Amino acid sequence: MLIADLRIFLAVATARSLSEASRKLDVMPMQVSRRINALEQELGVRLFQRTTRAVSLTAEGEAFLPYAHTMVEAEESALETLQPSSSQVTGLLRVTAPSVFGQSIVLPMLPRLLQQYPDLRVELDVSDTVVDLVGRGFDLALRVAPLADSELIAKRVAPNPRVLCAAPNYLRQHGTPSTLEELEKHSCIVLQAVPRWPFVVNGEIVRRRVEGRVIISTVGAVRDAAIEGLGIAMLAYWDVLPQLRDGSLKEIQLADGEMEQLSVWAVTPTRQYVPARVKLFLQMLEADMAARVRSTVSKS
């Protein structure tokens, strides 16, 4: 079984298109089709259902997908082990991250990453939707919400507590709440997916429904609405760190209800081999986030 054929299989599985896969691989579509046919003949199963408009994995193709990932990554890990210089790290790093975190934390780090590793390419998907890592061929997912049980491997990157915050002009006009009861009298900016806000009261998570005149569908828009003075928002620390530093948002602390403690997690598929490009990316991300925290503490 040729590793090159497995790479073509993974490209088609990700793109769901022979022509799109051929474009990404810079080969002729006929070559992609021939190699997929050869792989299917070798395995004795049909991996894709193909029509003139779409390509989709069969049940056998879905079952083979994680094994193909493992075999390709095993080869990459072996080659990287034989290359003593990390500057020789090559290939495409595919990362998915929540929209605000990806844009405000990951994206500013990429110029330095690409400068340090000139043969590395990065595909960054910024979306608040939890994606299928294996099915879509991602190397890594960064997640900031509580993790559901799964077969994925998760590594804690940094603490990410929830934060109550509002614009200074809102607080000047309406006052700053200091208790849960006082918070109920304020206008809160509600994220559609989180109508009840979690607080830690006497060591237990208590979810309280909040009221407000603005209900918004995305985290980024909630943050922007808070900056505009439309009310109090509940957001994750790393989503509002720049605004807390520049003063466009002020943190609110309640005497009788602490905010829920979350974390930033790096999630990888269940597999033995982690490519060097993933390890190097995470090392730089952890160092970058730690430096941001130190800088914030020194300015406070």
What dotted CATH number matches 162-259?
3.40.190.10
- Fill in the amino acid letter for 188: C
| pLDDT, tens digit, 9 for 90 and up, residues 162-191 | 999 999 999 999 999 999 999 999 999 999
Of 268, 19, 22, nearest to 7 by C-alpha is: 22
CB-facing half-sphere around the CA of 204: CA atoms within 13 A: 4
Residues 152, 191: Cα–Cα separation, whole Å? 27
Q: Which top CATH class is 88-158+262-300?
A: alpha beta
Boundaries of every domain in the chain: 1-82, 88-158+262-300, 162-259
| Domain 1-82 identical in fold to domain 162-259 | no
Q: What is the pTM of this model?
A: 0.67
Is the per-residue pLDDT at 300 higher than 70? Answer: no
CA angle at 175 for the pair 172 and 176, rounded to the nearest 5°: 110
Stretch 55-61: mean pLDDT: 87
Q: Tell me which of 1.10.10.10, 1.10.1740.10, 3.30.70.380, 3.90.1170.50 is the CATH number of domain 1-82.
A: 1.10.10.10
Which region among 79-88, 116-125, 136-145 has the lowest average model confidence (pLDDT)? 79-88
Residue type, 191: L
Looking at residue 86, the DSSP 8-state letter turns out to be: G
The string over 255-281, giving b where at least 16 C-beta atoms fall within 10 Å of a residue's C-beta and e elsewhere, is: eebebbebbbbbbbbeeebbbbbbebb
Mean of all residue pLDDT scores within the chain? 85
Give the tokens for residue 177.
């709440």
